[in-house]
C-alpha cells in the first residue's frame, strides 16, 4: 500500500480488502509481476493506494480489459477488482463471458449491496427489505426482483475453476478472505482458469448503521442471502 490515506468512509470494507491483496502479493513476491484492473465505483481510485501496476476500465468492463492484458502478457498476474454495481449490474455480460471463456484471470468482487459512489442506490445485490435511495420503502421482490447471486450463476460454467464467498466481519473471516485471494492467485499462476472471490463488505454510510452494526448485519442478515464458503473448486488445496 502507498502512504496515501484512502478516501473511503469510516468502516468501509474496501480498505481491508485492498490491504489483504497487498499482503498476499508481498508474501508471494508477485508485486512486480502484477497488473490490476480497477473498476468504476467507490474503488475507482484503487490505483492511488496500490503500489503495483493498475489500470482503469470503463464501468463493468474490467474483465474485458484484464482479458486483453493477460493474453498479451501471459506471464503476469492479472486481476480485476470490482464492486457489485460494476460486476453484477453493468458488467454482468463481461464477467459471465470471461468465466465462460475460462480466462486465466482472477476477480476480487467486493459486494456491499448498494451503489456507494453515486449515493446508495439499489444494486442487483441489494437484499429484499433493504432501504436504499431508490427503494426508500425497501426493496420488494414483486417490483424489484431478487438479489442476484453471481457466484452461484458462475458455478455452472465449465471454464470457472474456483469460486469462494467470504466476508471481513472479524479477524477470522479476514484471514479466510486473505487465504481465498491467495488461492485465486495460485490458481492463475497454475494456469487453471478463471477464479473469483466475493467479499461481503459493509457500507455503513448507505446502510445507515455504524461500522460495528454493519458487521453484525452481514453476520446476521447478508450471509443468509449470500451464504459463505467455497462455491466451486473446493478440491483446490491451499
Partner 1 sequence: MPEKTSHRSGIKLDKERCKGCMLCVEVCQRKVLEPAKGVNKKGMGYVVVAAAGKCSGCGLCVMMCPDCGIEIS
Binding site for partner 1 (CB under 8 A): 1, 5-6, 8-16, 19, 170-171, 174-175, 204, 210-212, 215
Report the b/e string of 115-131 with b at 16+ CB within 10 A: bbbeebbbbbbbbeebb
Beta-strand pair 77-83/34-38: parallel
Distance, in Å, from the CA atom of 201 to the CA atom of 32, rounded to the nearest integer, reads 28
Nearest approach in angstroms of CB 220 to partner 1 is 16
For 60: left if phi > 0, alpha if psi spans -120 to 50, otherwise beta; the answer is left
Distance, in Å, from the CA atom of 82 to the CA atom of 90, rounded to the nearest integer, reads 11
Q: Which is nearer to partner 1, 23 or 152 (CB)?
A: 23
Contact 198, 153 (CB under 8 A): no
Nearest approach in angstroms of CB 202 to partner 1 is 9
The candidate with the shortest Cα–Cα distance to 222, out of 128, 90, 143, 116, is 128
Q: Which is nearer to partner 1, 113 or 204 (CB)?
A: 204
Contact 195, 162 (CB under 8 A): yes
Q: Which is nearer to partner 1, 58 or 209 (CB)?
A: 209
Nearest approach in angstroms of CB 215 to partner 1 is 7
HSE (side-chain half, CA atoms, 13 Å) at 66? 33
Q: Which is nearer to partner 1, 67 or 214 (CB)?
A: 214
Q: Which is nearer to partner 1, 13 or 147 (CB)?
A: 13
Nearest approach in angstroms of CB 150 to partner 1 is 24
Nearest approach in angstroms of CB 112 to partner 1 is 12
Contact 102, 159 (CB under 8 A): yes
Nearest approach in angstroms of CB 233 to partner 1 is 25
DSSP-based helix, strand, coil % in the chain, nearest 5? 40, 20, 40
Q: Which is nearer to partner 1, 203 or 231 (CB)?
A: 203
Distance, in Å, from the CA atom of 193 to the CA atom of 101, rounded to the nearest integer, reads 9
Nearest approach in angstroms of CB 174 to partner 1 is 5
Q: Which is nearer to partner 1, 204 or 233 (CB)?
A: 204
Amino acid at each position: 500500500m502507498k502512504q496515501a490515506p484512502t478516501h473511503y468512509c469510516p468502516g468501509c470494507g474496501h480498505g481491508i480488502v485492498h490491504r489483504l491483496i497487498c499482503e498476499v502479493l508481498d508474501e508471494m513476491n508477485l508485486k512486480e509481476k502484477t497488473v490490476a484492473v480497477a473498476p468504476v465505483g467507490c474503488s475507482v481510485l484503487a490505483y492511488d493506494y496500490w503500489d503495483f501496476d493498475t489500470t482503469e476500465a470503463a464501468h463493468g468492463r474490467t474483465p474485458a480489459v484484464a482479458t486483453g492484458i493477460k493474453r498479451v502478457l501471459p506471464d503476469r498476474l492479472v486481476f480485476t477488482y470490482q464492486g457489485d454495481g460494476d460486476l453484477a449490474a453493468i458488467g454482468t455480460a463481461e464477467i459471465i463471458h470471461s468465466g465462460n471463456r475460462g480466462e486465466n484471470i482472477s476477480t476480487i468482487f467486493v459486494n456491499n449491496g448498494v451503489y456507494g459512489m453515486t449515493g446508495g442506490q439499489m444494486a442487483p445485490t441489494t437484499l429484499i427489505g433493504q432501504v436504499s435511495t431508490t427503494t426508500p420503502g425497501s426493496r420488494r421482490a414483486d417490483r424489484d426482483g431478487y438479489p442476484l447471486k453471481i457466484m452461484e450463476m458462475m458455478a455452472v460454467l465449465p471454464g470457472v475453476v474456483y469460486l469462494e464467498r467470504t466476508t471481513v466481519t472479524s479477524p477470522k473471516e479476514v484471514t479466510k478472505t486473505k487465504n481465498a485471494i491467495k488461492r485465486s492467485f495460485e490458481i492463475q499462476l497454475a494456469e487453471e482458469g478463471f477464479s473469483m472471490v466475493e467479499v461481503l463488505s459493509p457500507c455503513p454510510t448507505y446502510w445507515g448503521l455504524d461500522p460495528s452494526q454493519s458487521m453484525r448485519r452481514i453476520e446476521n442478515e447478508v450471509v443468509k442471502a449470500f451464504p459463505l464458503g467455497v462455491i466451486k473448486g473446493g478440491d483446490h488445496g491451499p
